[in-house]
Amino acid sequence: MVHITQETVASFKKMFKEKYGVEYSDSEAWEATHNLLGAFDWLLKQDMKQNPHLYKKTNSDEQGGVKKYENNTQKRTYKKD
């Protein structure tokens, strides 16, 4: 999971106030940001499991213990029923 900075929380608060007129406290904004980023993290991991051919490793565990992936996005076409 990514580290959530105070700037990220402030940006989230500002966005929701401007777009939806909702004001969050710092702790509410942190929790909402954490949940939102967690959901996208989970979705990315699921996509990486289901479509490993779309991702390639760009470094290994020997380089700081961090695995980074580069998305080799291919145009996906869908047929209409």
Residue ranges of alpha helices (H) inside 4-70 are 6-20, 26-50
pLDDT in tens, 26-52: 999 999 999 998 999 999 999 999 988
Model confidence at 53, pLDDT cuts 50, 70, 90, reads confident
The confidence score (pLDDT) of residue 76 equals 55
Confidence (pTM): 0.59
The answer, yes or no, to whether residue 9 has pLDDT greater than 90, is yes
Read off the pLDDT band of 55 (50, 70, 90).
confident
- Nearest 10 degrees: Cα torsion 6, 12, 13, 18: 150
Domain boundaries, the chain: 6-71
